[in-house]
Structure 1
Amino acid sequence: MLSEERQVMMKRTFAFFFIGLIGQVSAQESLIDTVFIDNQFSKVSKTAKISNLNSDKILENSTSLSDLLRFQSNIYIKENGRGATSSPGFRGTTAQQTAFVWNGININSIFLGQGDINNMNPLSYENVGIKFGGGSVIYGSSAIGGSIHLNNALNFNKGFSGTLFSEYGSFGTSNSLAQAKFSNGNFSFNVNINHSRSENDYEVPQRKFINRNGEYQNTSFNLGLAYKINPNNEFYWQSQLYDSEQHYPVFSENQTKTKYQVQTFRSLAGWKFNSKSIKNNFKLAYLEDNFQYFGDINKSKTSGGTGKQYIIKNDYDFLVSKNSSFNLITEYQYNEAEGFGSGIKTPKRNLGSFSLLYRNSQSEKFYWELGAKQEIVEDYKSPFLFSASGKYTINNWYQTTLNISRNFRAPTFNDLYWQPGGNPDLKPETSNQIEMSHNFSYKNFKLGITPYYMHIVDEIVWNQATSTIWTPKNISKVDSYGLEANLTFDKNFERHHIFSNLSYTYSRSVDLETKKQLRYVPKQRVNFNANYEYSFIGFFVQAFYNGKTYVDENEKKSLKDYMILNSGITAKLSSKFQLGFKVNNMTNQIYQTVDYYFMPQRNYAVNLKLNF
């Protein structure tokens, strides 16, 4: 049963949702058939390293966004046991240096400065995009190591379609999705409801580990609408309502059980104007995050908070000529919060920014762009930000890209005001970055090699001050550098289709004062994905190797390396009916992504998908 307080919270959130439903209409970013609301994502993909995970890939790892990113990207995922608190790390950076972008809006928590991956259900999105490298000129604070883009799509002229998906797996795990879409020449509608739950009571007998009190459940409702008034004007609206409960694992039956509850509401409405020389996209967004932590699941909440963000954003693109354009992005945010049991009272913050980008494609072979941004953050002197990038196609088998940027992250409310431990004297982080990609293609093969370097000043790191108190401080300088390599093979012949992807990452992230590798930054990672389809049968294999990972600042304690292998089979019995079976951790490996918290050994899942 829900507590009375939580029922009130949910009723209020549902009220916000239905008020928005009555009062607003929606559209999409472009006049092509299938688009994302984040119109900048396709632009940055011209020079940045981008990875796209479509709905089919999402269903291969539907259990959690952690699993999806762990097996289908080379991002390091730090998870406190399956289904518990989870955070990403790009290129040796921290979770706070990763921006989560929902349909073009930065949604990192104003408390934590990051996103909890396991409180973002992948079934809520048609596409999960991954952008490597800094992007603060466009996506704001925290876009230092990279950004994760949660995209919803709206179509026109597609008629009606629907999807039902249900998966059941080990440890009492179930994932369900119901989705319906309708569109004609002027109107588009997309509704998505998904639910995930698990008893999550797995054991690792070799380490005498039981995932006690590990259950979780979450539900998400997503609605998108689009309407074209005429060929030049579109209105759009995208909304999301999310509710979850996570129980945190304990190590003995006598230990007090804890849990964490989250309710999230996001609403984005906008108007797009499009003419021959002008494209303008005006957005209004409201984000609300509520959370409650229970130090004892049988008692009232111990701590919690409510964070609200009001956002006005305008994206003006002026076509100077056929091959060049100026893009002005302005944004204003008002953030307010109310804490409970954390020393955080009622902090408020005003933020504004002005970004100007110039893009030029004088020839089919050469494309370049320049960007500049001034961020205005209340109570902080924000640095001047810039970006420069270019792509040169030398011949039909080789092209190279270069990216240079300065990025930043502002201290969050928890960094500043959490008691005990918060530090009001923190400085904002700044970073300078350079990367150069080399992309080769030969017949069905593509090879990409990207060395990168980041120099971060005043990085904010939480360290243990006493046995019970953690506090943040600025590390004067950090160097993060490494290499990413990616090889793909894609071939169709007769009724066969083969696709494979092999990626390798080498990462060094060094505190220049101690000369030591930062915590939870594996030096080496390898990912492999392969899909084979013949007629109505499909097979897939997923594998990743994670190198030795230090868990302290002195390189004295580490998690040993490991390799995990998954495989699955799907059978499309008709155009509307598909069955699937999957084996996770086939070799029964014992592994941890966070010290003390073991992940599951071999487990299974079966799924059913209906299209109509």
Structure 2
Amino acid sequence: MRRFVVFGVLLLAWAQNVSAQELFSVFDTVHVDEVVSYGKLRKYQSGAKIESISASQFSLAQDGNLEQLLSRTLPVAFKTNAGGLATIRIRGSAPDHTSLNFGGININSLTLGHSNVSNVPVYLFDNVGVQFGSASSVNGSGSIGGAIHLGLQNNWTKGVKAEARIANGSFGEQLYGTKISLGNGKFESVTRAYYYTKTNNFPFLNPQKDFETQQIGIQDTQQNAAIENRGLLQEFNYRFATNEHFIFNVWIENDWHQVQQNMAVNYFNPQLQEVYDDEHIRIWTGYKNRKKPFKYEINGGYVFDNAVSNKNTSDTISTQRIIGEAFVEHDFLPNASYKAGAKATRIYPTVYAYSETLEHETRVDLYASYYHRFFNKLTATINLRQGFVTDFEVPFTPSLGVNYLALSKEKYVLKFSGNIARSYRVPTFNDRFWVPGGNPDLNPEKGMNCEIGSKWSYCTGNKSGNVKLNAFLMKVDDWILWKNGGSFWYAENVQKVESKGLELMTDWNYNMVKGWVVNWGLNLTYTVAERIESLNETNALNRQMEYVPKTSATAFFSASYKDLALVVDQSYSGEQFTDEENKNILDAYSLTNLAVSYNWKINTQHRIKINAMVNNLFDEDYQASWGYAMPGISYRLGLSYHFK
């Protein structure tokens, strides 16, 4: 913690010399990058907090997964072990409360309700956007706490571009990847493939007691926690005209890992092995016509998810989805537009523990959005969404948001924003249909999110920066838990949860003398997430929720000169409860990482990039999931070759 405070104080002290530029004054323009297939949804979400990962930070994370990227760049809580499993908790919500979106597909498991974000490779995507707070009115079920969007960029390649990537690191870590783009300016084929493996046999200090020597704290090595993932993402894009194109994308993924055992089992039963295998096929295709004043899209998708535990293929856990979506958008005034559409999904679950009467489920969503700009100062948006699910009642979810330009001067701009939104989550198939314990009469989880924010942007000469402050309040009713019924566990709506807090985000950029460029940022969040009502007898009422630190932070500093770059980043996570008892509490910890990269431009057609990274630079001994070991200091060396 001390290292983090010193780092932050030094950065803040240095920032007193910062200033900014006029370019921030273009408040009334809605910037929507039409060539991004998936990603930002800003226009109809005034007042919503949506953050994009910077290009430099995204580039450094190419060899890792989504959890590693977000935990190093945003103050977001994760429950994670040494690489095999990670779940996200935005603003104190549950893992089931964040949707993870690829095009029009929420890739969260329909049986479990969430995604293992350590299985999402950064290498396959071009950008990542994160929405904090309710996004159900735009994304549908499962976006109570927030939404993550995995983005692809259509570059309309002319000729051939190719990349080969290799990375090797500590504890048997290896990554091999390739990206190949072919096109003639109208047609484009982009192939992205990767293979990742890690033995994960890292040393650690095991707090177990040696009964022969009576010593507490034993040097141990993690056993049976290997990871092997591979994936292919194929894009076919055709551009009829500047604002009219067709996309067809296929993402095939196979994720295998040995289930990491806790430290006690690792020491007393080191031979124990459990394996988990995930298979996914995700297809998203669509025709997009963005010509004014009427714009429309027609999209479709197919998803196949299959999970196998301990090679037991007879206990089938798989689902298939067929998705159709269409919408129209009309700019009927220079300062006003609306959007209306519908989305339908047919789901076919095949799960050994479900009732045989469950053959399929149909979900339909109708939605409408309205955008209006007033006097070049105020923008307001309204979103309305009504879902329909087979034999299930879904609540109506509206949202209202505003952005207001308070000041616009030569050197700085001050904006205020506000948003209020309802949200919901349809219980998972396991919650409703698992035999025994599933309850088809469960209510949907219902949320209400309110937030206000401000953004101060400053720019002058060679210096620029932003300071963003947000305050939020989120309430969730009918939170679903599985209760111990004696002979079996069962699902029930048992509690109400309230989460509130503050988020501060800063980023500053300097173009220094003699070609040096310096960037730094500091993000802080304070979250109080508590059960305020519960049908269960619990010691955790009016106490912080499990695996949600009250205080978390991230900071980064980068300096580059021509083709050479140095980056230091640090993350801090406060104390965390891990169960409903006031014990087994995770200590606060901070992690520091260092990276150096060199971009060698051989000529206009050939380029080689070399990067070296040291993770957990100070060899911090910590846990991110109670009882599970985490690796100490480690390295990764990467090399990529680019051909154009």
Fold agreement, TM-score > 0.5: yes
Distance in 2 (CA, whole Å) between partners of 1:463 and 1:490 is 51
Equivalent residue in structure 2 for 1:447, among 467, 470, 473: 467
Q: Specify whether residues 547 and 471 from structure 1 end up closer, same or farther in structure 2 by C-alpha distance, changes over 3 A only.
A: farther
| CA displacement at 1:487 relative to structure 2 | 1.2
Check if 1:228 corresponds to 2:259: no
| CA displacement at 1:464 relative to structure 2 | 5.4
Is the 8 Å Cα contact of residues 39 and 104 (structure 1) preserved in structure 2?
no
- Residue of structure 2 in register with 1:411 after alignment: 427
| CA displacement at 1:312 relative to structure 2 | 0.5
- Residue of structure 2 in register with 1:542 after alignment: 569
- Residue of structure 2 in register with 1:309 after alignment: 321
- AA matched with 1:570: S
Equivalent residue in structure 1 for 2:249, among 234, 238, 251: 238
Is the 8 Å Cα contact of residues 46 and 381 (structure 2) preserved in structure 1?
no
Please, which moves more after superposition, 409-418 or 91-100?
Answer: 409-418
- Residue of structure 1 in register with 2:555 after alignment: 528
Distance in 2 (CA, whole Å) between partners of 1:104 and 1:72 is 25
- Residue of structure 1 in register with 2:258 after alignment: 247
1:131-150 equivalent positions in 2, closer than 5 A: 131-150=131-150
Distance in 2 (CA, whole Å) between partners of 1:469 and 1:545 is 39
| CA displacement at 1:364 relative to structure 2 | 2.6
- Residue of structure 2 in register with 1:335 after alignment: 347
- Residue of structure 1 in register with 2:294 after alignment: 278
- AA matched with 2:396: F
Q: Specify whether residues 470 and 73 from structure 1 end up closer, same or farther in structure 2 by C-alpha distance, changes over 3 A only.
A: farther
1:537-596: CA deviation from partner (whole Å, max 9, x where unpaired): 110111111000001124443111001111111122325112111111011111111111
Distance in 1 (CA, whole Å) between partners of 2:640 and 2:45 is 31
Is the 8 Å Cα contact of residues 370 and 387 (structure 1) preserved in structure 2?
yes
Distance in 2 (CA, whole Å) between partners of 1:300 and 1:112 is 18
- Residue of structure 2 in register with 1:10 after alignment: none
| CA displacement at 1:42 relative to structure 2 | 4.1
1:29-428 equivalent positions in 2, closer than 5 A: 35-38=35-38, 41-44=41-44, 47-53=47-53, 56-61=56-61, 62-79=63-80, 81-156=81-156, 159-205=159-205, 207=207, 208=218, 209-231=220-242, 233-250=244-261, 251-252=265-266, 253=269, 256-294=272-310, 300-301=312-313, 303-340=315-352, 346-396=358-408, 397-428=413-444
- Residue of structure 2 in register with 1:16 after alignment: none
Is the 8 Å Cα contact of residues 106 and 140 (structure 1) preserved in structure 2?
no
Distance in 1 (CA, whole Å) between partners of 2:60 and 2:482 is 35
- Residue of structure 2 in register with 1:477 after alignment: 496
Check if 1:567 corresponds to 2:567: no
Distance in 2 (CA, whole Å) between partners of 1:510 and 1:245 is 35
Q: Specify whether residues 54 and 194 from structure 1 end up closer, same or farther in structure 2 by C-alpha distance, changes over 3 A only.
A: farther
| CA displacement at 1:254 relative to structure 2 | 5.2
Check if 1:580 corresponds to 2:581: no
Distance in 2 (CA, whole Å) between partners of 1:104 and 1:490 is 35
Distance in 1 (CA, whole Å) between partners of 2:289 and 2:635 is 49
> TM-score scaled to structure 1, two decimals?
0.90
1:365-415: CA deviation from partner (whole Å, max 9, x where unpaired): 221111111111112211111011111111132101111100000001111
Check if 1:598 corresponds to 2:629: yes
| CA displacement at 1:238 relative to structure 2 | 1.2
Q: Specify whether residues 202 and 500 from structure 1 end up closer, same or farther in structure 2 by C-alpha distance, changes over 3 A only.
A: same
- AA matched with 2:491: P
Is the 8 Å Cα contact of residues 391 and 400 (structure 1) preserved in structure 2?
yes
1:481-533: CA deviation from partner (whole Å, max 9, x where unpaired): 11111111112234111111110111111111222222111111011122110
- AA matched with 1:133: G
Q: Secondary structure at the match of 1:592?
A: coil
Q: Specify whether residues 136 and 300 from structure 1 end up closer, same or farther in structure 2 by C-alpha distance, changes over 3 A only.
A: closer
Distance in 2 (CA, whole Å) between partners of 1:343 and 1:594 is 34
Distance in 1 (CA, whole Å) between partners of 2:167 and 2:483 is 40
| CA displacement at 1:430 relative to structure 2 | 0.6
Distance in 2 (CA, whole Å) between partners of 1:148 and 1:65 is 10
| CA displacement at 1:272 relative to structure 2 | 1.4
Is the 8 Å Cα contact of residues 161 and 180 (structure 1) preserved in structure 2?
yes
- Structure 2, unmatched stretches of 5+, are 1-30, 208-217, 534-540
Please, which moves more after superposition, 549-558 or 140-149?
Answer: 549-558
Distance in 1 (CA, whole Å) between partners of 2:173 and 2:390 is 45
1:63-93: CA deviation from partner (whole Å, max 9, x where unpaired): 22221111111111111x2121211000000
- Structure 1, unmatched stretches of 5+, are 1-30
Q: Specify whether residues 52 and 470 from structure 1 end up closer, same or farther in structure 2 by C-alpha distance, changes over 3 A only.
A: farther
| CA displacement at 1:50 relative to structure 2 | 1.8
| CA displacement at 1:34 relative to structure 2 | 7.0
Check if 1:491 corresponds to 2:518: no
- Residue of structure 2 in register with 1:436 after alignment: 452
Distance in 1 (CA, whole Å) between partners of 2:483 and 2:58 is 35
Is the 8 Å Cα contact of residues 177 and 192 (structure 2) preserved in structure 1?
yes
Is the 8 Å Cα contact of residues 36 and 103 (structure 1) preserved in structure 2?
no
Q: Specify whether residues 535 and 46 from structure 1 end up closer, same or farther in structure 2 by C-alpha distance, changes over 3 A only.
A: farther
How many pairs are equivalent? 576
- AA matched with 2:631: P
Is the 8 Å Cα contact of residues 34 and 155 (structure 1) preserved in structure 2?
no
CA RMSD in angstroms, aligned pairs only: 2.2
- AA matched with 2:404: Y
- AA matched with 1:111: T
- AA matched with 1:43: K
Q: Secondary structure at the match of 2:53?
A: strand
- AA matched with 1:446: N
Q: Specify whether residues 470 and 526 from structure 1 end up closer, same or farther in structure 2 by C-alpha distance, changes over 3 A only.
A: farther
Is the 8 Å Cα contact of residues 171 and 201 (structure 1) preserved in structure 2?
yes
Is the 8 Å Cα contact of residues 597 and 612 (structure 2) preserved in structure 1?
yes
Distance in 2 (CA, whole Å) between partners of 1:303 and 1:60 is 40
| CA displacement at 1:47 relative to structure 2 | 3.6
Is the 8 Å Cα contact of residues 403 and 436 (structure 1) preserved in structure 2?
yes
Distance in 2 (CA, whole Å) between partners of 1:75 and 1:464 is 30
| CA displacement at 1:230 relative to structure 2 | 3.8
Distance in 2 (CA, whole Å) between partners of 1:57 and 1:158 is 27
Is the 8 Å Cα contact of residues 64 and 83 (structure 1) preserved in structure 2?
no
- AA matched with 1:582: M
1:24-83: CA deviation from partner (whole Å, max 9, x where unpaired): xxxxxxx9987222376242565422222256433423222221111111111111x212
Distance in 2 (CA, whole Å) between partners of 1:321 and 1:41 is 20
| CA displacement at 1:193 relative to structure 2 | 0.6
Q: Specify whether residues 150 and 232 from structure 1 end up closer, same or farther in structure 2 by C-alpha distance, changes over 3 A only.
A: closer
- AA matched with 2:126: E
Is the 8 Å Cα contact of residues 33 and 155 (structure 1) preserved in structure 2?
no
Distance in 1 (CA, whole Å) between partners of 2:501 and 2:334 is 38
- Residue of structure 1 in register with 2:578 after alignment: 551
Is the 8 Å Cα contact of residues 232 and 274 (structure 1) preserved in structure 2?
yes
1:201-231: CA deviation from partner (whole Å, max 9, x where unpaired): 1121253453211001111111111112345
- AA matched with 2:294: I
Is the 8 Å Cα contact of residues 46 and 380 (structure 2) preserved in structure 1?
no
| CA displacement at 1:274 relative to structure 2 | 3.1
Q: Specify whether residues 525 and 470 from structure 1 end up closer, same or farther in structure 2 by C-alpha distance, changes over 3 A only.
A: farther
Is the 8 Å Cα contact of residues 125 and 151 (structure 1) preserved in structure 2?
yes
Is the 8 Å Cα contact of residues 44 and 383 (structure 2) preserved in structure 1?
no
